[in-house]
Amino acid sequence: MIEALRQYDIFDEEVLLSLHLLPSQGYCNTNYKLKSDKRTYLVRKFRLADRDRAAEFRVQQKAFQYKIGAKPLLLDQEAGIMISLFLPGSHKEKLQRKEIRLLARALRKLHRIPFGGKAMQLPRKLRHKIYPFNKELVLCHNDVSVKNILFTRGIKLIDWEYAGLGERYFDLASACEEFGFDRAAERYFLYCYGEKINDAKLQVYKEIYAILYKEWFEKLEKGELTFHPHDEACTVSRR
């Protein structure tokens, strides 16, 4: 694979030295660490063919501009490859107050980035739960999981393939559930987020998050890798 990477213009003035699988892999991409004589890169080989990778690349460009994402350098849709600068850092399952504050502010920054397009939809069977609430559509990551939060010099979000226009409450609920915030930690997280939050709406989205991800991981364990929980067809096997 390293020979194939040498064709790209971004490496014209560099010598590629090594390419290794990262020890921690996601569900939607195969991730490699590429080293040259000048820089270190993240190479992502796509596993899913149903994502809009051009839109993902544009969103990550915006995230980099707002200092909450890695710098994307190249997208080759035909080869199914995206290359970004590599960010050293770590993932954490439990957060201290400083880390909660960093996460809240990163999400607030993301949700304030101007963005248009078609809003993502919940599966029909769950839409009745949000009918009582007004829509608050913003640019969302839509996959705020422990594996997609990188603590480095500050905090960065990674893996943007599900990002798009959506409800801020899905991201907020995902963070609360993923990191197991108790009520005190949740209040501090929302305080640091700095926007007026409807608590009843947040609790409904936490319930929705729990339902969707339970179903998704059950199907994943059975080898029925389905669409992402935010996709309308999430209950349909892709076999």
Chunked into runs of 10 residues, the chain (239 residues) has average pLDDT values of 93 96 81 96 88 93 97 95 95 95 98 90 92 94 93 92 94 96 97 96 96 77 54 30
The pLDDT of residue 177 is: 95
Q: Look-up: residue for tokens 């991730």?
A: 31
Tell me the pLDDT tens digit for each residue of 166-224. Answer: 999 999 999 999 999 999 999 999 999 999 999 999 999 999 999 988 887 776 666 66
> What percent of the chain has pLDDT above 70?
90
pTM of the model: 0.88
Distance of CA 39 to the CA centre of its chain: 24
Q: Which domains does the chain have, with CATH numbers?
A: 2-85 (3.30.200.20), 97-221 (3.90.1200.10)
Q: Name the amino acid, one letter, at 165.
A: L
The pLDDT of residue 64 is: 97
Which CA distances in Å does 72 have to 41, 75, 198?
10, 8, 35
DSSP 79: T
Q: Do 96 and 104 touch, CB atoms closer than 8 A?
A: no
The DSSP bridge pattern shows strands 149-152 and 154-157 to be antiparallel
The DSSP bridge pattern shows strands 72-76 and 81-85 to be antiparallel
Q: Would you state the structure tokens that stand for residue 8, as one six-digit string?
A: 């790209």
Q: How far apart are the first and last CA of the chain?
A: 28
